[in-house]
Structure 1
């Protein structure tokens, strides 16, 4: 049986062979984005003052906080933009609001956000939010590669684009997160990023450099990726991981419209994924079997 490995659809850093599928953060299902011009601390929970209190309260409630800012000249005084959102499942949403005073965040029902319930904190956003990690204090590569990418994307997509703090996976910089669905891309240059955003605006994903969807276990992200690749299903909400079992290999059931597929994926280590000079070993996934349920195996 031929192996369909992550490098087939996710070229990576340096040589185009660094695997990145199944690497979106597994813990983020709900989000709090707070405009903050910087400087940003190494970790957002170390932020001082009232905003730091809000960040820590969000983390305690199970909501992922991100500091965001515009590229170039940034607002140093209020009003500041805030978004809250939920990215799990089919019922995703974003609410946005400008704050004249950080104390207004005391009104935000973080428990509701964590559970996926709209808190009515702001206006429902009908446009996506595009986050590019530029958190240089966390990892210099994020600033070196992310900042120019944020400028390029801003030139094309304007106010949809924000710089942001650490999103996870510094080794895959430059990183892009598309909200409200929590779609992660890594190792992006301008051409790949524009292609990813254009697809997202049309309700689709691009498999090239797709890291996965936030909030799903890594093996589930990999299984979804392999099914998309096999059947050509690119709609953001077209594919759903129904179940995941096992501990390597993993067995997932993935639904695509009216069809269900059983996917067996195995975690493995890609040694020297960037060439013999690379000292880094990276965990990745291979597919062992992909079967249309009640039919013959497809691979």
Structure 2
């Protein structure tokens, strides 16, 4: 489902009126996070230097790994040493490895093929705490810096070392955006209150539906189907459900399994009646549920 590009302004910041569901990036399952204090180019693949980091970014993209430049909120250290994370966010076996590099040239030792396939490359030590990414990529979209930078500072004051600023994560229109790794959980249109609630939930192994965009790596209809089942059941565990299948175009049928139950979800891609902002002629696409059935039982909605 095609979504328009950002409109170059910050419409309705933190209003909660723009439906965020089913808008997480569909292509990211393997991640490479590399500390870089900036400035960041509009697109990470255009990074000029340091040369080893620029080469690693382009090699990651070629291998099917999503590269993100990261930096600490507020006062930033130079490099080296620089922090690097490799992470996998698909399925039940999610993980992250972390390492500080004395020399950026060490990035060449990372097995990007293994990372792209979901295998631990052994490049760093296992990371047992979440990695929280707040998009502050102002050169990509001014709203991301305007809303993301204050949010990153606020979360850093509360959650400290877990929080990093990052380059474009997708969905500029939903700024401020938060990504929770290693699960790849996306939230958007966040103010501080909503962001703290989302992080607190993630730390206890749950999601909150308010401002939840979805999980990276899943097709949009699958993200929507999982969202609707969560809303119906009230079950919020990060790993509570798995989407077994999705069929259809514009009108979809999905099978969602979890907690010993299976659900059939009929849903439809629709366009909202209102534009995404006063200067934007594109309507936002979203999804609505038409029927949700507990298999072998009567229809529930």
TM surpasses 0.5: yes
The C-alpha deviation readout for 1:5-40, integer Å capped at 9, x for no partner, is xxxxxxx74643211100000000000000000000
Instruction: Flag structure 1 segments of 5+ consecutive residues without an equivalent.
Output: 1-11
CA distance in 1, matches of 2:293, 2:299: 4
Change beyond 3 A, Cα 1:125–1:297: same
Partner of 1:40: 40
Partner of 1:97: 99
> 1:96 is paired with a residue of what secondary structure?
strand
Cα RMSD between the aligned structures?
A: 1.3
Partner of 2:52: 50
> 1:39 is paired with a residue of what secondary structure?
coil
Please list, as runs of the form range in 1=range in 2, the aligned pairs for 1:151-170 lying within 5 A after superposition. 151-170=153-172
- Deviation of 1:275 (Å): 7.7
- Deviation of 1:271 (Å): 2.3
TM-score (norm 2): 0.93
TM-score (norm 1): 0.94
Please list, as runs of the form range in 1=range in 2, the aligned pairs for 1:1-299 lying within 5 A after superposition. 13=13, 15-48=15-48, 49-272=51-274, 279-299=281-301
2:14–2:191 Cα contact (<8 Å) kept:
no
- Deviation of 1:75 (Å): 1.2
> 1:135 is paired with a residue of what secondary structure?
coil
CA distance in 2, matches of 1:286, 1:27: 22
Give the number of aligned pairs: 288
4+ runs deviating over 2 angstroms: 12-16, 273-280
2:36–2:79 Cα contact (<8 Å) kept:
no
Q: Which moved more, 1:166-175 or 1:243-252?
A: 243-252
1:138–1:166 Cα contact (<8 Å) kept:
yes
